[in-house]
């Protein structure tokens, strides 16, 4: 195969690449990550790059206009290296590094609740550390090192269980015992029927740490947990590097099953994402990898399988069967995580193909399975999972809302981070806009809570009708409402008021996307209620999870028909419940055992069977809904 | 052993839409048509009142239609003259209304001007006394111009004009509001979109009693069951007091039934299907009669022989069964 040199601008980073490689893959090899919502199918148009010099072979031009093509703009996934190249990657095509907003306390209309349910389960972590002083061997006390250690350990441990030592640790044993003068600290993985020694070091009082990992389709969050005190010492979050293979789980599965290589590549992408965050945490806290003695992962079924390197092919083929629900715990070295190699990595069990461990984790946090009252738990994210029930019964479904509320698929959509518009006020007369921006800086885009707000306010101001169509006749009132060659749009912030060089707008297409996303969530709730023949008023509590930053505006959500028109006091926002559940499992064996029971208890409802969901979906594609009687408090 | 007759009690009834206007109402029609008003399931006279019998509007086009000979032969030499054609429908075949399709307006065909279309409508209005249903050529931009001109030219006649659709309902609704006509709201075999469209139209200010639902039926053998169940849901919705589903329903029976191969293929080609003469008539008749069972108020039909059979069927169904 011929090799060519490709240089990426503005970094001026050059790499050697084989002829016929797509620019998307080449960029990723150069560690420049390009957005690719459709997973390289050439349909989303997110991966625009400019070929400055050299020749590429182009197989498709997607939505590019002739003017762009003339200026060398190409879709990276549809362009293949044919010679030496220089390629410019514009900022809007990049998967930006970003911080995930995590837990700075803020006054919101629906503030994230802080429920500490660890008290209920008791503190008994999945790994702990014990310090022992061994008697030195002599000619008369000539037991082996391991026998000596076991005897002493048994004396110090609270209950009688087998103790095992992996070969890798056994190899270190003789030297460390003698270096430390027989005073050693042992890290033990404590699982139901046995102790396993995962680390041996000279005696010290440093606590053991663990990682709680939430692998979202769009973002990955890692918490560093002190297993001794139960305190969350630090947090890190970023985009899931798998995003370059597609925005949603389906396009990633499609990508993963193309060739054996792509499976490895997509598995490695998530491992790299986690390792990157782990390394940052270690550096910030002055720890070494061996100090991280356990990890619990909460992720949807697809993410879990990709994380473990299990082929996800059959998740998306009828009848949608996962390889495993109760995932085995595996030593970190098998996955290449940057933690103690012998440390066990536990993944939350899943319910079905599209209701996974992140939801079991969230449901555990809500404690819904132990209460008499009926709870509706909704994760407003890409997959839109919903669980309904109480101590007697639990049903769940996934309604695939898409990445809208996380900023995906919206022109100026972004995560809830600095520069994101999170509140919008629109004057119904003049159409003037008043914005609230995270971090009180100039706006660069709009996040989920801002989008919900925006939709409600645009409807109120008569900018859109109930179907989301722009009312261009109102453009005589304000220059903010305008028709462009591509679409109709409403200007939220003029370029001179925004942190970029472009006007921040919301287009009719964005609005339709949002309506589909909110329609999917509401239709999912209605379908689930119909399955159990239950009236919406019988729900006692609604727990909302999702990446809305720190709050979701419930009145606005009801206004657009995203959430049922129920009294505000029934609602509670629980933030990233998935990572919280992972923390809980790290710190409590009882909670971890209960997670397995919980996953078994939840019945999965397949929405693709029958007409219920489709019917409900179409009726929810309206503001707030086709059946206005479902929203008595929403004015016309 | 005495048997108690089970009677459903309904909260509400289908709304009524008046089409046409007599001279003392500001128009020139000799009679008006009232559609809808039922307070029971179709023809269950023992359960509620069947207020108005379903009516048949016969199809007339402003160009010579590409129909099969079984239908064309019955009209003789009037097919190139909408005025004579409309007269024949009313005088010979007892059509309750004329369904005028302005296909000649299509930019890819005759490209007839809006003024010209309006003139044809006026001429048909002059030739017959029955109320009119008028629709355009299915090119939405052109139809918006054509129907605005027609609505203005026929102001006072209280026509039933179409088509308002989800992505294009404003111009025609505005024209109907300004010139006081009724509107056909067409949705693609979907009860939710049907309802959404009615809400959008009524929020523009057109009263609910000026909207007629076109559920976009499928003909016999080609999806009629979807239309059937959707119309049934709409009727049940109306009886349960869902105001946005309470409009009377109009069905494009002639167009849909006669698209079927079964309504046009000769017996030589498919011996197992029997003679085309009967088949062609029955295909349209059965499409109509099935939809009458789920509450069609206005049937848009073509074949005079089928019209005659359906008229007889309606007469039978209107006999009390209380």
DSSP state of A34: B
Give the other-Cβ count within 10 Å of A67's Cβ.
8
The verdict on pTM exceeding 0.95 is no
Residue B195 at interface with chain A, using a CB cutoff of 8 Å: yes
Q: How far apart are CA A313 and CA A298, in angstroms?
A: 20
A615 and A536, same domain (yes or no): yes
Q: Which of A169, A202, A235 is the last residue of a domain?
A: A202
Q: What is the pLDDT of residues B155-196, one digit of tens each?
A: 999 999 999 999 999 999 999 999 999 999 999 999 999 999
Residue A621 at interface with chain B, using a CB cutoff of 8 Å: yes
Mean pLDDT of chain A: 89
A596 and A526, same domain (yes or no): yes
Within a domain: A51: yes
B271 contact partners, CB below 8 Å, separation of at least 6: none
Position A14 pLDDT exceeds 90 = no
Q: Which of B:240-279 have CB within 8 Å of A?
A: 244
Reported as half-sphere exposure (CB side, CA atoms, 13 A), residue A634 has a value of 29
CB contact under 8 A, A465 and B203: yes
Cis, bond preceding A624 (omega within 30 deg of 0): yes
A472 neighbourhood in chain B, CB within 8 Å: none
Q: How far apart are CA A104 and CA B21, in angstroms?
A: 69
Nearest residue to A368 via CA among A385, A389, A349, A350: A389
pLDDT of residue B322: 67
**What CATH number is given to the structural domain containing A164?**
3.10.20.880
- Find the mean pLDDT for residues B222-234: 97
Question: Containing H/E element for A86?
Answer: strand A85-88
- Find the mean pLDDT for residues A85-106: 60
Place of tokens 């999965």: A604
Position A103 pLDDT exceeds 70 = no
CB contact under 8 A, A619 and B199: no
Give the other-Cβ count within 10 Å of A6's Cβ.
23
A624 contact partners, CB below 8 Å, separation of at least 6: A558, A559, A560, A561, A565, A630, A631, A634
Position A108 pLDDT exceeds 50 = no
Q: Which CATH superfamily is domain B14-317 in?
A: Dihydropteroate synthase-like (3.20.20.20)
Q: Which of A167, A183, A202 is the last residue of a domain?
A: A202
What is the length of chain B?
Answer: 322
**What CATH number is given to the structural domain containing A378?**
3.30.420
Strands A481-483 and A488-493: antiparallel
Place of tokens 């073509």: B302
DSSP state of A507: E
A466 neighbourhood in chain B, CB within 8 Å: 196, 199-200, 203
A86 and A158, same domain (yes or no): no
Q: How confident is the model at residue A101 (pLDDT cuts 50, 70, 90)?
A: very low
Cis, bond preceding B163 (omega within 30 deg of 0): yes
pLDDT of residue A280: 96
Residue B203 at interface with chain A, using a CB cutoff of 8 Å: yes
pLDDT of residue A206: 93
Q: Nearest 5°: phi and psi at B164?
A: -90, 130
CB contact under 8 A, A626 and B203: no
Within a domain: A414: no
Residue A45's domain comprises 3-93
Burial A474-489 (b: 16+ CB within 10 A, else e): bbebbebbbeeeebbb
Q: What is the pLDDT of residues A551-586, one digit of tens each?
A: 688 889 999 999 999 998 999 988 889 999 999 999
Beta strands in A192-305 (DSSP E): 194-202, 209-215, 219-226, 232-239, 292-299
Residue B11 at interface with chain A, using a CB cutoff of 8 Å: no
Q: Contact at 8 Å (CB) between A266 and A256? A: yes
Q: Contact at 8 Å (CB) between B57 and B301? A: yes
A84 and A136, same domain (yes or no): no
Strands A3-9 and A85-88: parallel
Q: How far apart are CA A559 and CA A553, in angstroms?
A: 10
CB contact under 8 A, B200 and A626: no
DSSP A255-267: HHTT-HHHHHHHH
Residue B193 at interface with chain A, using a CB cutoff of 8 Å: yes
Q: How many domains does chain A have?
A: 3
What is the length of chain A?
Answer: 636
Place of tokens 């000539």: A142
Token digits of residue A331 = 């030593």
A79 and A158, same domain (yes or no): no
A157 and A84, same domain (yes or no): no
pLDDT of residue B93: 98
DSSP state of A274: H
CB contact under 8 A, B196 and A467: yes
CB contact under 8 A, A618 and B190: yes
Shortest distance, CA B168 to any CA of chain A (angstroms)? 10
**What CATH number is given to the structural domain containing A14?**
3.10.20.30
Q: CA-nearest residue of chain B to A619?
A: B192
H, E, C per residue of A578-600: HHHHHHHHHHEHHHHHHHHHHHH
Nearest residue to B20 via CA among B119, B92, B79, B95: B95
């Amino acid at each position: 195969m011929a090799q060519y040199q490709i240089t990426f601008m503005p970094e001026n980073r050059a790499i050697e690449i084989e002829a016929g490689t797509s620019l998307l893959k080449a960029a990723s090899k150069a560690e420049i990550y390009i957005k690719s919502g459709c997973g390289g199918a050439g349909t989303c148009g997110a991966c625009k790059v400019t070929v400055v010099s050299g020749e590429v072979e182009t197989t498709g031009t997607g939505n590019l206009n002739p003017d762009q093509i003339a200026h060398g703009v190409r879709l990276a996934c549809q362009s293949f290296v044919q010679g030496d190249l220089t390629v410019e990657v514009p900022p809007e095509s990049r998967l930006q590094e970003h911080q995930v907003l995590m837990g700075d306390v803020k006054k919101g209309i629906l503030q994230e609740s802080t429920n500490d349910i660890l008290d209920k389960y008791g503190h008994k972590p999945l790994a702990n550390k014990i310090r022992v002083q061994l008697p030195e061997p002599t000619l008369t006390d000539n037991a082996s090192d391991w026998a000596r250690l076991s005897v002493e350990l048994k004396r110090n441990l609270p209950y009688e269980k087998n103790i095992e030592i992996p070969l890798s640790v056994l190899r270190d044993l003789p030297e460390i015992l003698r270096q430390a003068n027989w005073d050693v600290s042992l890290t033990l993985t404590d699982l139901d029927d046995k102790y396993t020694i995962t680390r041996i070091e000279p005696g010290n009082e440093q606590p053991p740490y663990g990682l709680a990992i939430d692998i979202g389709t769009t973002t990955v969050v890692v918490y560093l947990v002190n297993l001794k005190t139960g305190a969350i010492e630090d947090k890190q979050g970023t985009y899931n590097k798998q995003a370059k293979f597609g925005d949603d789980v389906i396009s990633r599965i499609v990508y993963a099953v193309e060739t054996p290589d792509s499976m490895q590549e997509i598995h490695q992408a998530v491992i790299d994402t986690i390792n990157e965050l782990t390394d940052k945490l270690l550096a910030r806290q002055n720890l070494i990898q061996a100090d991280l003695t356990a990890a619990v992962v909460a992720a949807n079924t697809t993410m879990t399988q990709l994380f473990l390197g299990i082929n996800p092919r059959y998740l998306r083929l009828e009848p949608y069967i996962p390889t495993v629900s109760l995932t085995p715990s595996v030593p970190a070295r098998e996955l290449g995580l940057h933690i103690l190699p012998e440390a066990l990595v536990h993944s939350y069990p899943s319910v079905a193909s599209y209701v996974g461990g992140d939801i079991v984790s969230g449901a555990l946090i809500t404690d819904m399975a132990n209460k008499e009252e009926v709870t509706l738990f909704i994760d407003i994210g890409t997959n839109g999972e919903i669980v309904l029930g109480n101590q007697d019964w639990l049903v769940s479904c996934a309604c695939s809302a898409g990445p809208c509320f996380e900023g995906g698929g919206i022109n100026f959509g972004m995560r809830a981070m600095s520069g994101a518009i999170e509140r919008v006020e629109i004057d119904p007369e003049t159409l003037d806009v008043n914005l609230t921006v995270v971090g009180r800086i100039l706006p660069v885009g709009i996040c989920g809570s801002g989008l919900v707000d925006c939709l409600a306010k645009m409807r109120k101001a008569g900018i859109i009708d109930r179907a989301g169509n722009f009312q261009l006749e109102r453009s005589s009132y304000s220059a903010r409402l305008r028709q462009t060659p591509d679409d109709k749009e409403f200007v939220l912030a003029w370029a001179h008021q925004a942190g970029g060089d472009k006007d921040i707008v919301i287009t009719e297409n964005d609005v339709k996307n949002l309506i589909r996303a909110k329609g999917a969530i509401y239709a999912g709730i209605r379908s689930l209620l119909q399955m159990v023949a239950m009236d919406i008023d019988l729900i006692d509590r609604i727990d909302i999870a999702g990446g809305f930053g720190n709050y979701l505006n419930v009145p606005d959500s009801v206004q657009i028909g995203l959430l049922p028109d129920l009294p505000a006091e029934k609602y509670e926002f629980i933030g990233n419940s998935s990572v919280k559940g992972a923390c809980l499992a790290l710190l409590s064996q009882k909670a971890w055992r209960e997670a397995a029971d919980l996953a078994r208890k939840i019945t999965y409802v397949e929405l693709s069977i029958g007409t219920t969901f489709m019917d409900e979906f179409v009726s929810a594609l309206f503001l707030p809904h086709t059946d206005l009687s479902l929203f008595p408090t929403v004015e016309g | 052993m005495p048997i108690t007759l089970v009677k459903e009690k309904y909260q509400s009834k289908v709304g009524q839409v008046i089409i046409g206007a007599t001279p003392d109402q500001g128009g020139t029609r000799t009679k008006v048509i009232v559609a809808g008003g039922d307070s029971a399931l179709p023809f269950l006279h023992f359960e509620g009142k069947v207020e108005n019998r379903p009516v048949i509007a016969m199809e007339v086009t402003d160009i010579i239609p590409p129909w099969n000979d079984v239908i064309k032969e019955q009209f003789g030499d009037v097919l190139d003259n909408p005025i004579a054609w409309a007269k024949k429908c009313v005088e010979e075949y007892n059509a309750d209304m004329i369904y005028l399709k302005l296909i000649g307006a299509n930019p890819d065909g005759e490209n007839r001007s809006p003024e010209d279309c309006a003139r044809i409508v006026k001429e048909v209005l002059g030739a017959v006394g029955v109320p009119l249903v008028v629709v355009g050529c299915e090119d939405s931009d052109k139809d918006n111009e054509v129907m605005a001109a027609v609505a203005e030219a026929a102001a006072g006649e209280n026509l039933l004009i179409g088509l308002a659709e989800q992505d294009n309902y404003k111009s025609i609704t505005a024209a109907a509001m300004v010139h006081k006509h009724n509107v056909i709201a067409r949705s693609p075999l979907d009860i939710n979109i049907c309802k959404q469209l009615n809400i959008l139209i009524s929020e523009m200010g057109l009263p609910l009693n000026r909207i007629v639902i076109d559920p976009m039926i499928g003909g016999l053998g080609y999806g009629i069951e979807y239309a059937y169940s959707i119309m049934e849901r709409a009727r049940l919705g109306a009886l349960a007091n869902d105001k946005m589903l309470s409009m009377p329903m109009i069905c494009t029976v002639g167009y849909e039934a006669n698209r079927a191969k079964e309504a046009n293929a000769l017996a030589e080609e498919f011996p197992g299907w029997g003679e085309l003469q009967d088949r062609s008539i029955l295909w349209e008749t059965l499409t109509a009669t099935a939809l009458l069972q789920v509450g069609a108020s206005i049937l848009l039909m073509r074949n005079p022989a089928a019209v005659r059979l359906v008229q007889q069927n309606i007469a039978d169904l209107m006999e009390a069964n209380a």
